[in-house]
Chain A
């Protein structure tokens, strides 16, 4: 187990190096001149060249890459071309808000999704199932942009219970977390339902029933536990995606998150910030996958780590 962990963590390093090379090449391949974009529309050519020199973009690309990698190994992601602040600062500023929003969204979404999924699976083709799946399909198909604005209209403008945006108190989390989690809850509900329905058809469930176990124990204990593997996989992926930040949610609720930072950086061709963010995202996904793999073992002790 520990060996497995150690091995997996060691694998992270070559993956990140590969990722960093690809990202560096990709961002430099997108058309668009950062010096021109940073200097602004009404800049003269002198301004642009000045900015280019200031940002070190006049150096050959190989030299830029070597500098970038050298700094990276020292844990220095570089400086934002647009704002002149360090990339670690820019990302650090927005990482925790994104992280907590993701956590709260995932918490309620997984809880609600599991509940709806289990009820739908056990009450198959009854009204509870229809209602649950109606909710899930609605949750999936409501554009979060629209949902967010509607919630603001209702809870902030009309009722005045919650703030319309920003990140000032715990109340600020409610609307964005609800909006962000809706889609996830819907997906979790649908996965749980179909997976649990398959499991409930298995022989050992029948055995359990014939042993006289009560239905609740069969569903929640034996059934759900075995049905969780695909759900956990999918939840892990969703968690990773949400950690990347959501431009829509961040724009609608003025949330200081990573999604908007990435979009803005791409618009300005702010290479160091794009590179830094992509590396963080890659790292997040690797770690989440690792956690998911470990969870498999807890859910099904037959799974062995080698």
Chain B
């Protein structure tokens, strides 16, 4: 009997200690916070671990539609062009490029002396094999549509290649810089076929080692990388860690050197402690509330403008985004090409009420606001509900699970039948070009669901003309001009309540340099360096 009692008290002790430990750790944490520090964390070795929020779906860029998998692919493969940290197009495997004035012919001069990881030389033939694959409608690739316009790819010489499009597409240069246009080794494509997504072979700074979908991806330094002196780390392991708190714990313990995303509400708590730094940078993700412009009363521009005046965007940023973002001042974010700043709808309840009155909207207008069911989305929708109550609009928040929501939006065949009134959503134009930030969202009938994402059912002849004008030429000035005018018109027509442009948030140990998120939310590690 004595024994069991002894065991029991031991158990009790453990329990008590555990609870005490928990509260203790809380206290310790807070003293450490006060201690602040700015201490330099120390790293041994040159192997990095990066914790990400989800599993990669595939490592075949041509068949990828999530930014996370793109990030992994970009460590091993490169495209003709790429983006720098401000989303500007920069040459990678191409040294120079040229577009015909009518935006139908694009010629690239390729970098010489580059080899794929399997030893295959990189040349015009390799480029052709890749783009023929992308342009083939029978390939069943998820990114085929971005390259469907390519009519032919011609090898002009070993290091010169020419693309001919079936119709003008002014945004093509950005499409070439898109991660979907990363280049596989032609040998790997031939050898693995559809399975190339499990055996990525590119020209990038890192080589594929191993990928276990549930445990993570390992890559190692490519010693023959064409850019001399890079990469500066030996290996990187990506681990999927879906729980925010756990990801942060990994960074604090040093099990991870870099994590993303960091949830906005945790930034304050971790920044500057335990050698952890949080990088908060502008992204091209826009947040908006779309209004169905075919439905009463939102068919009246005054009502739509009134709603824009009725929402306090500063409060939105503070409450919903924890200050991690900027007020949205066009239909696209500042880092998107051809962005043009518009004059904000400043928060003004009186003006909002007046406009509503002019439009003949009576007190007690009821509206349904649709959106996803993640906690941050619901929080945003509840905020909008509260704000609109002040101008006498009773909003019912309807959060929906993603599959149900997409069914509700895209099963509509006839725009008049759309049930949608208000919709809270976000968009990130992955090509970084104004076209992809505008056309799918407000590009007239062509973009109405189920074709695309124009949930406002916004259709303005003039805007449509400007959008296609922007695609008819490769002349930067002409394009900029078209998009500038389009943005102004869209802004004044206000098919959305323009809310915010997000920041990207990543956490890292302060010895780490050169790892950062691009405005499109993808990761760059090619310049990673440990100090």
| Nearest CB on A from B22, distance (A) | 5
Nearest 6 interchain pairs by C-beta: A32-B403, A256-B214, A40-B65, A54-B140, A251-B243, A254-B241
What is the CB-to-nearest-CB distance from B228 to chain A, in angstroms, rounded to a whole number? 35
Could you tell me if B255 and A163 are in contact, using CB atoms closer than 8 angstroms?
yes
Asked whether, in the complex, the Cβ of B240 is within 8 Å of the Cβ of A254, the reply is yes
Query: With A152-B249, A251-B246, A254-B239 in contact, do A44 and B145 touch (Cβ < 8 Å)?
Result: yes
B414 at the interface (CB under 8 A from A): no
Q: List 18 A-B contacts (CB under 8 A).
A: A30-B403, A32-B407, A36-B407, A37-B406, A40-B142, A44-B452, A47-B144, A47-B145, A50-B144, A93-B214, A157-B252, A157-B253, A158-B25, A160-B253, A164-B255, A166-B215, A166-B241, A260-B242
Q: Inside 8 A of A306's CB, which chain B residues have their CB? A: none
A51-B142, A115-B7, A254-B242 known; A31+B215 contact, CB < 8 A = no
Instruction: Select which of B63, B403, B452 is within 8 A of A37 by beta carbon.
Output: B403
Is B18 an interface residue, CB under 8 A from the partner?
Answer: yes
Contacting residues, chain B, for A115 (C-beta < 8 A): 4, 7
| Any B CB within 8 A of the CB of A41 | yes
Contacts of A39 in B (CB 8 A): 65, 142
Q: Are B240 and A128 in contact (CB under 8 A)?
A: no
Contact A93 B7 (CB under 8 A): no
A69 to chain B, nearest CB (A): 24
Q: Which residue in chain B gives the minimum CB-CB distance to A51?
A: B142
Q: Is the CB of A42 within 8 A of B403?
A: no
Minimal beta-carbon separation of A295 from chain B (angstroms): 25
User: Which of A42, A135, A164, A256 contacts B430 (CB under 8 A)?
Assistant: A42
With A41-B453, A45-B451, A152-B245 given, can you name 8 additional A-B contacts, CB distance below 8 Å?
A32-B403, A36-B410, A82-B57, A128-B8, A152-B246, A165-B246, A254-B241, A267-B401
A252 located at the interface, meaning its Cβ lies under 8 Å from any Cβ of chain B in the complex: yes
Task: Give every chain B residue within 8 A of A33 (Cβ-Cβ).
Answer: 403, 406-407, 410-411
Q: Is A269 an interface residue (CB 8 A)?
A: yes
Q: Which of A164, A254, A264 contacts B253 (CB 8 A)?
A: A164
The CA of A264 and the CA of B402, in the complex, are separated in Å by 11
Q: Is the CB of A156 within 8 A of B22?
A: no
Q: Which residues of B contact A222 (CB under 8 A)?
A: none
In the complex, chain B residues 222-262 whose Cβ is within 8 Å of any chain A Cβ: 239-243, 245-246, 249-250, 252-253, 255
Contact A83 B213 (CB under 8 A): yes
What is the CA–CA distance of A42 and B63 in the complex, to the nearest angstrom?
14
> Which residues in B have their C-beta under 8 angstroms from that of A48?
450
Q: Which residue of B253, B401, B411 contacts A156 across the interface (Cβ within 8 Å)?
A: B253
A155 to chain B, nearest CB (A): 8
Shortest CB-to-CB span from A255 to chain B, Å, is: 9
For the complex, what is the distance from the CA of A36 to the CA of B452, rounded to whole Å? 11
Nearest-neighbor residue (CB-CB) of B428 within chain A: A42
Q: Say whether B495 faces chain A, with CB atoms less than 8 Å apart.
A: no
Q: How far is the CB of B162 from chain A (nearest CB, A)?
A: 25
Question: A252 vs B335: C-alpha distance in the bound complex, in angstroms?
Answer: 35
Bound-complex Cα distance A33 to B402 (A)? 10
Q: Which residues of B contact A70 (CB under 8 A)?
A: none
Report B-chain residues with C-beta under 8 Å of the C-beta of A174: none
Q: B447: nearest residue on chain A (CB-CB)?
A: A44
> Is B404 an interface position by the 8 A CB rule?
yes
List residues of chain A with CB within 8 A of the CB of B204.
Answer: none
- Are B213 and A90 touching (Cβ within 8 A)? yes
Write the nearest CB–CB distance from A160 to chain B, whole angstroms.
6
Residues of B near any A CB (own CB < 8 A): 1, 4-5, 7-8, 11-12, 15, 18, 21-22, 24-26, 28-29, 51, 55, 57-58, 63, 65-66, 137, 140-145, 148, 194, 197-198, 212-215, 239-243, 245-246, 249-250, 252-253, 255, 401-404, 406-407, 410-411, 427-430, 436, 440, 450-453
Total residues of chain A contacting the partner, CB 8 A? 64
A-B contact count (CB 8 A): 171
Residues of A within 8 A of B453 (CB): 41-42
A203 within 8 A of B: no
Q: Are B450 and A45 in contact (CB under 8 A)?
A: yes
**Shortest Cβ distance from residue A140 to the other chain B in the assembled complex, whole angstroms:** 14
Q: Is A202 an interface residue (CB 8 A)?
A: no
Determine if A300 is an interface residue (Cβ-Cβ < 8 Å).
no
A282 beta carbon closer than 8 Å to chain B? no
User: A interface vs B, CB < 8 Å?
Assistant: 30-33, 36-48, 50-51, 53-54, 82-85, 90, 93-94, 97, 112, 115-116, 119, 128, 131-132, 135, 149-150, 152-154, 156-158, 160, 163-167, 216, 251-254, 256-257, 260-261, 264, 267-269
Q: Nearest-CB distance from A48 to chain B (Å)?
A: 8
The smallest C-beta distance from B85 to any residue of chain A, in angstroms, reads: 22
Give every chain B residue within 8 A of A167 (Cβ-Cβ): 215
Name which residue of chain B comes closest to A153, CB basis: B25
CA distance A41 to B4 in the complex (A): 60
Most chain A CB within 10 A, of B24, B141, B245, B436, is at: B245
On chain A, the residues within 8 Å of B143 by CB distance are: 47
Q: Which B residues touch A131, using CB under 8 A?
A: 8, 12
* Residue among B15, B65, B137 with most chain A CB within 10 A: B65
Contact call A32/B404, Cβ cutoff below 8 A: yes
Q: Which residues of B contact A150 (CB under 8 A)?
A: 22, 25
Q: Write out the residue numbers on chain A whose beta carbons fall within 8 Å of the beta carbon of B137.
A: 50
- Bound Cα distance A51, B139 (Å): 10
Known contacts A46-B148, A166-B239, A85 near B246 by CB under 8 Å: no
Partner of A40, one of B25, B66, B214, B411: B66
Q: CB distance A253 to B7 under 8 Å?
A: no
List residues of chain A with CB within 8 A of the CB of B18. 154
Contact B142 A43 (CB under 8 A): yes
With beta carbons under 8 angstroms apart, the residue of A53, A135, A149, A264 that contacts B246 is A149
Bound together, the chains give a CA A85 to CA B407 distance in angstroms of 25
Please measure, in the bound complex, the distance between the C-alpha atom of A256 and the C-alpha atom of B143, giving whole angstroms. 29
Cβ-closest chain A residue relative to B237? A166
> How many angstroms between the C-alpha atoms of A58 and B212 in the bound complex?
31
Say yes or no: A252 contacts B142, CB within 8 Å. Answer: no
With A115-B4, A164-B246, A256-B215 as contacts: A36 and B241 at CB distance below 8 Å: no
CB contact between B243 and one of A31, A51, A252, A269 (< 8 Å): that residue = A252
Across-interface contacts of B24 in A (CB, < 8 A): 158
Closest to B7 in A: A115
State in angstroms the CA–CA spacing of A54 and B144 once bound together: 13
A45 near B452 (CB under 8 angstroms)? yes
Which chain B positions have C-beta within 8 A of A253?
Answer: 246
CB closest residue in chain B, given A255? B214
Inter-chain contacts of A261 with B (CB < 8 A): 214
CA distance A39 to B142 in the complex (A): 6
A50, B215: Cβ atoms closer than 8 Å: no
Q: Name A32's closest neighbour in chain B (CB-CB).
A: B403
A31–B212 touching, CB < 8 Å: no
- Contact with B25, one of A47, A112, A154 (Cβ below 8 angstroms): A154
Residues of A within 8 A of B8 (CB): 116, 119, 128, 131-132
Chain B residues with Cβ below 8 Å from A37 are 402-403, 406
